[in-house]
Structure 1
């Protein structure tokens, strides 16, 4: 098979729906109201796909949403009809996805039989609950927000809706567009807290001759600053593979990238500290420009009596926490959302584990499903 010209995945899926899937639906299920979109996992959903992405889980694929009743009555039949009537290729790409050795991972492959397609026929409640652990068409509680990794929020609010006959996708995505104000302040405060806890270690590791340890700490701080900047810009930070790509798209990236790059390239802790100091002050200035709190002095300073230059980022945590109006949110421990205190893909990719971990971490004083304080 010759390699077809690369088409960005969202555009390929849009054409696939309009030119191949919709005609089958109109013939097979006339009058059934549906919505169509390409949401969820996949580099194309976030707009980061390249020709390399075509080697797995990429291609002509999308979701068809039906009402729960129609999904129960007609979903399997529609999926079978699509298998029989979809073209074998679309713009040069096979529409058949063959399984691989990895569970749930498919690759485009030519076939002479029925198409094992990736047009997922579902209903909104089942799909959103499977992706997030809750249905955003209903009330979203603080517990829902905090138990959901930003990668998953990005996957649901990015992508594209091609048709919304159910008139339910747009409101659900709008409800998830960004955190409620108090929770935003809380997450920013928690991100500053993470920085405050390690900013002195770059120098301390270096002082005892552990340049490798100093470099590891510095890299963690750069990652946390990048995530903080994305949160400040009201953008959900994606997971590590796309964090740098997403950061490059925010207005402050051009000014911060030279310092971040110099931190990572430095071979001694004094150089790391100097460039981190420049980055700290720039991000602190960004905080002040948001006017979420009274101005906080953005200058770095010595770490108590030790000869290390730090921001004392906990000052920003305190300023943000003081502006949180909801006493239940203000009383939460300074750990943040689940992906601010857990770094395990195996947990973050499973909503039931993310939600359980969040409940456990917020107890005592947990925020429950209905938004009330839990038992102490």
Structure 2
């Protein structure tokens, strides 16, 4: 059997099965059908290995609230007529989600789409979730609401983009000398660990500078390779990872720093910044002075709340605060209400702004 990527398989599933069934049995129903949300196939990274679990022909069906009473009837009709296999792949209707667009977005972002998104809310959204919502494909959208909302989510608002970039530059500034200090006193393992942290920060910064949502760890490196900057940076970052001495690590990091400094200047969002590394005080190693980039970016933030936050604490968004998978899935916790879950994260920013 020839492998069919999940997005294409689900597209065929919609047009060859879902849409005809709804047309025959619910001819006046307005609905949205798409493949969005979790799943490697949504981001286009699925392979034959992906087919062993949580994969197959499926769609997300979004109804209007007034039609939610039809869910059981729709499920019944689809179940009665579903094929056992579709293009050779087993059909499991449990993988097809049927809900309203309002409920779907609450489950993903814990927001009321009719009330809009304020800027601080953006800092509570993991980039993986945002990538899932703008990824995949919309097969049908009678109301047009999902298409409109996906356009709104296409990328961070300008001041959130600036704040998040400034936060990562600040992280680099806080640790760039530590990777060298640890190595200088003979702690190569510690130096390597810090170096890996900086590599991750550089990669995240590159996603931001190229205005792409960074996916979660499984696809982080795969997606990075698709960035424009990857051709230049990949060999340098790999060298940081493989270096056995701190001096080798320093050399690779310095080249990477100068590369991202040039990328920053090409954005034209601040005055031109120094693109060459320089000494860290009187110590025998060099850094890019990441905090100076952070300070320059912060000056460009115009929203009063985000600017105040940046002047108090450059902690970034949820992706910079924690890499804990469960914590970053806080909007989807079932043990607390969606509004309470979001408030846990929002409370952190609100406390800083007091």
Q: Give the number of equivalent residue pairs.
A: 344
Deviation of residue 365 (structure 1)? 4.6
Partner of 1:220: 197
Equivalent positions of 1:1-376 (< 5 A) are 4-71=1-68, 73-96=69-92, 116-332=93-309, 333-351=313-331, 352=338, 355-366=342-353, 376=354
Structure (1 or 2) with the greater helix fraction: 2
RMSD of aligned alpha carbons = 1.3
Question: In structure 2, how many angstroms separate the alpha carbons of the residues matched to 1:215 and 1:18?
Answer: 51
Unmatched 5+ stretches in structure 1: 97-115, 367-375
Question: In structure 1, how many angstroms separate the alpha carbons of the residues matched to 2:27 and 2:52?
Answer: 35
1:137–1:172 contact (8 Å) kept in structure 2: no
Could you tell me the TM-score, scaled by structure 1's length? 0.89
Deviation of residue 239 (structure 1)? 0.9
Question: In structure 1, how many angstroms separate the alpha carbons of the residues matched to 2:119 and 2:57?
Answer: 36
Question: In structure 2, how many angstroms separate the alpha carbons of the residues matched to 1:292 and 1:357?
Answer: 32
Q: Deviations over 1:154-184 (max 9, x none)?
A: 1001110001112111100001111111111
Deviation of residue 191 (structure 1)? 1.1
Question: In structure 1, how many angstroms separate the alpha carbons of the residues matched to 2:320 and 2:344?
Answer: 12
Deviation of residue 308 (structure 1)? 2.0
Q: 2:41 is paired with a residue of what secondary structure?
A: coil
Q: Deviations over 1:17-57 (max 9, x none)?
A: 00011111112211101110000011111111111111111
Question: In structure 2, how many angstroms separate the alpha carbons of the residues matched to 1:196 and 1:39?
Answer: 37
Could you tell me the TM-score, scaled by structure 2's length? 0.94
